[in-house]
C-alpha cells in the first residue's frame, strides 16, 4: 500500500526512545538511561509539537486562516524555526523578532524557511537582559500593532504549548516504556514540555519522579560560549532558587508537577554531549546534554538500579556547530566527572 504523506506537518511527533546501553556499560550505570530523541521531528526539535498544536487549535477556533492572518512571535530559535516551517507548509506569512544570542544556524534556518525577521531596536531589547521574559510583552505588542491581522502565538503563556506535550509527548513516553518509566528529566524554557509531560505521566502513576535541570548560575554568568547570554545552555534557564520561583518563571511552568530541581554546570553538559556522541553516535544540543548529565548522575544511584530514566533531548548538536563546542570542551569537560 502506498505510504505518501500530504504535508510535513503530518510528520510531527512519534519520536523514538533509545536506550543508551553502550554508555551505561562504559560508565557502569545502575539505572537504564533512555533518551527521547526530539530532533526526529521534521523541523528538528520538540518545538514542532507546540508550533503545530498552537496553529491548528487557533485554526479550529476560527481565530486564524492563511488567507487573512500573519503569524508573529518573539523567540530565540526552535519555536521560530518550527513556526516558520509549518507557516510555510500551510501558507501563512510569518514574522519573527529574535532574542539576543541566537546562533548563526538558527538565523539561517529562519531565513531558509522564508520567515521575515523583524528588526528589534536596542532600546526595546535592553529590558530583556535585565528582566528576562517579563520584558517580552511590550515587544510582542509592538509587533502586533505593526502587523495587519497579526496573530501572536505566545508560547510562554499559550496553554496549547503545554497541551501539545500532555496530548502527545507524555503518552508516547508512557506507551513506549509500557508504563515502566520511573524518572523523567527536562529543562525549562517556556515550561511547556516538563509541565505537559510530567502532568500526563503523574496521572498514570503518581510515583514517577520529575526532575528539572537548571543551568548552574556561575556557568551562565561566566559563559564559555562567546556572545551567549544564557551560558550556552540554549533554551533552558533557572526557574527556582533558594528564595523560590525566579522572575524567569513563565506562565506555562507548573511547579506542582515537579519533584526536584538539580543544577548542572556547562562543563558537565559538554561532557554528557561528548559521551553520548562517543558511545552512542548521537550528537545533541546543550539543553539535551544538561538533561542527559542529570540522567547519568541519577543512573549511578543505588535507589535507581534497573529503573527507566528518561531525559527529554530537545534538539540536535548540528544546530550549534558554529559554537565550536568540540574545541571548547577540551578546556572545560576534561576537568569534570559525571
Ligand atoms: C533547545 C531547547 N531546549 C529546551 C527548551 C525548553 O523547552 P520548553 O520551552 O518546553 O520549556 C527550549 C525552548 O526554547 C529549546 O529551544
Of the residues 219, 287, 297, 307, which is catalytic? 287
Is the residue at 3 inside a domain?
no
Q: Could you give the CA distance from residue 139 to residue 74 in angstroms, rounded to a whole number? A: 8
Is the residue at 159 inside a domain?
no
Residues 190 and 314 in one domain: yes
Q: Could you give the CA distance from residue 294 to residue 272 in angstroms, rounded to a whole number? A: 9
Count up the domains in the chain and report the number: 2
Q: Is 291 a catalytic residue?
A: no
Query: How confident is residue 329, by pLDDT bands cut at 50, 70 and 90?
Result: confident
Residues 147 and 185 in one domain: no
Query: How confident is residue 100, by pLDDT bands cut at 50, 70 and 90?
Result: confident
Residues 114 and 178 in one domain: no
Query: Do residues 81 and 109 make contact, with C-beta atoms less than 8 angstroms apart?
Result: yes
pLDDT reported for residue 325: 80
Query: Do residues 229 and 129 make contact, with C-beta atoms less than 8 angstroms apart?
Result: yes
Q: Which of 257, 277, 268 is nearest to 296 (CA)?
A: 268
Q: Could you give the CA distance from residue 6 to residue 12 in angstroms, rounded to a whole number? A: 12
Residues 82 and 118 in one domain: yes
Instruction: Point out the domain boundary residue: 152, 176, 194.
Output: 152
Q: Is 47 a catalytic residue?
A: yes
pLDDT reported for residue 112: 96
Task: Give the residue, 335 or 50, on which the prediction is more confident.
Answer: 50
Of the residues 15, 110, 234, which should be mutated to test ligand 1's pocket, given the most ligand atoms within 8 Å of the CB? 234
Of the residues 46, 54, 80, which should be mutated to test ligand 1's pocket, given the most ligand atoms within 8 Å of the CB? 46
Question: What is this structure's pTM?
Answer: 0.96
Tens digits of residue pLDDT in 221-242: 999 888 788 899 999 999 999 9
Q: Phi first, then psi: give them for residue 141, nearest 5 degrees.
A: -60, -45
Q: Dig out the grid coordinates for 255 from the structure.
A: 511547579
Of the residues 36, 45, 47, 307, which is catalytic? 47
Q: Is 110 in the pocket of ligand 1 (CB under 6 A)?
A: no
Lowest mean pLDDT among 36-40, 125-129, 136-140, 241-245: 125-129
Residues 30 and 143 in one domain: no
User: What atom in ligand 1 is closest to the CA of residue 165?
Assistant: 10
Instruction: Point out the domain boundary residue: 93, 128, 152.
Output: 152
Residues 256 and 230 in one domain: yes
Residues 182 and 280 in one domain: yes
Tens digits of residue pLDDT in 270-279: 999 999 999 9
Is the residue at 287 inside a domain?
yes
> E-strand spans in 216-331?
240-241, 244-245, 260-264, 308-313
Q: How far is ligand 1, taken at its centre, from the CA of residue 227, in Å?
A: 19
Is the residue at 158 inside a domain?
no
Name the residue range of residue 91's domain: 47-152
Query: Which element (helix H / strand E) includes 19?
Result: strand 17-19
Instruction: Point out the domain boundary residue: 86, 117, 152.
Output: 152
For residues 266-293, average pLDDT? 96
Amino acid at each position: 500500500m502506498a505510504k505518501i504523506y500530504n504535508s510535513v506537518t503530518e510528520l510531527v511527533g512519534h519520536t523514538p526512545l533509545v536506550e543508551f546501553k553502550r554508555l551505561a556499560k562504559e560508565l557502569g550505570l545502575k539505572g537504564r538511561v533512555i533518551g527521547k530523541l526530539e530532533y526526529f521531528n521534521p523541523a528538528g526539535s520538540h518545538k514542532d509539537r507546540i508550533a503545530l498544536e498552537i496553529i491548528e487549535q487557533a485554526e479550529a477556533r476560527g481565530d486564524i486562516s492563511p488567507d487573512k492572518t500573519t503569524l508573529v512571535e518573539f523567540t530565540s530559535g526552535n519555536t521560530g524555526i518550527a513556526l516558520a516551517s509549518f507557516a510555510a507548509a500551510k501558507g501563512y506569512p510569518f514574522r519573527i523578532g529574535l532574542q539576543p544570542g541566537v546562533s548563526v544556524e538558527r538565523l539561517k534556518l529562519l531565513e531558509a524557511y522564508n520567515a521575515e525577521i523583524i528588526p528589534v531596536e536596542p532600546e526595546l531589547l535592553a529590558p530583556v537582559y535585565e528582566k528576562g521574559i517579563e520584558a517580552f510583552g511590550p515587544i510582542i505588542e509592538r509587533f502586533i500593532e505593526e502587523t495587519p491581522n497579526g496573530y501572536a502565538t505566545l508560547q510562554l503563556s499559550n496553554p496549547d504549548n503545554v497541551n501539545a506535550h500532555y496530548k502527545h509527548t507524555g503518552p508516547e513516553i508512557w506507551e513506549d516504556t509500557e508504563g515502566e518509566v520511573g524518572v523523567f528529566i527536562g529543562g525549562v524554557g517556556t515550561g511547556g514540555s516538563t509541565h505537559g509531560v510530567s502532568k500526563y505521566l503523574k496521572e498514570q502513576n503518581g510515583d514517577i519522579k520529575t526532575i528539572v535541570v537548571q543551568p548552574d548560575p556561575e556557568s551562565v554568568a561566566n559563559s564559555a560560549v562567546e556572545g551567549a547570554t544564557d551560558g550556552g545552555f540554549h533554551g533552558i534557564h533557572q526557574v527556582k532558587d533558594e528564595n523560590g520561583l525566579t522572575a524567569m518563571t513563565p506562565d506555562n511552568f507548573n511547579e506542582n508537577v515537579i519533584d526536584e530541581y538539580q543544577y548542572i554546570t556547562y562543563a558537565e553538559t559538554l561532557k554528557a554531549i561528548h559521551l553520548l556522541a562517543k558511545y552512542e553516535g548521537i550528537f545533541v544540543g546543550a539543553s539535551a546534554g544538561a538533561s542527559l548529565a542529570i540522567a547519568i548522575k541519577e543512573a549511578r544511584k543505588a535507589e535507581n538500579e534497573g529503573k527507566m530514566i528518561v531525559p527529554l533531548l530537545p534538539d540536535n548538536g548540528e544546530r550549534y556547530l558554529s559554537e565550536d563546542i568540540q574545541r571548547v570542551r577540551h578546556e572545560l569537560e576534561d576537568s569534570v566527572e559525571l
